[in-house]
Amino acid sequence: RHVGGVEGAYVYGSWAARHAGERGSRPVGDIDVLVLGEPDRDRLYEALSGAERRLGRPVQATIRDAGWLTSGSGPFHDTVLGRPMLELEL
């Protein structure tokens, strides 16, 4: 669903890894979504709440600046980029 201010969005973490064929030792409990840009947070969380109802599991959003994938740094950045990601169509 369209949320203004979102420049890009990606599923990352365990769900994305399983989608890419990686095996895991336990079931995926939630879906991690990286949101790039400056979204209207109320509209974003409303959209995520709808996704949670449809998917039957929690959806956790992490919001970063639009250029974070190329200009970010640190352990979280390294972890996200070091594992599979699935780009969401906006």
pLDDT surpasses 70 at 54: yes
Residue 2: the pLDDT is 81
pLDDT surpasses 90 at 67: yes
Residue 1: the pLDDT is 65
Nearest CA among 20, 25, 29 for reference residue 60: 29
pLDDT tens digit sequence for 7-52: 999 999 999 999 999 998 888 889 999 999 999 999 999 999 999 9
pTM (2 d.p.): 0.92
Residue 74: the pLDDT is 96
